[in-house]
Structure 1
């Protein structure tokens, strides 16, 4: 649950504001890298 809450801190992921699936997936990978590095 904590991991999901960390992902939802990224507004672009929570709002799903990206226009393409590729951009959305890239944002998820970026958020995962940031969360993993901290």
Structure 2
């Protein structure tokens, strides 16, 4: 898998950070894709 590192040495993200990152990512994606639904 691209970008998969089984030994995340330098990454120590909390579950809250992961949740916020996923939420922001989904929000931005939805904001960019949603206008195309009406075309």
TM-score by length of 2: 0.50
Unpaired runs of 5+ residues, structure 1, are 1-10
Structural RMSD (CA): 2.6
> Greater CA radius of gyration, 1 or 2?
2
Q: Which has the higher contact order (CA 8 A, sep 6+)?
A: 1
Moved >4 Å (runs of 4+): none
Unaligned runs of 5+ in 2: 6-10, 33-39
TM-score, normalising length: structure 1: 0.51
Give the structure with the higher percent helix. 1
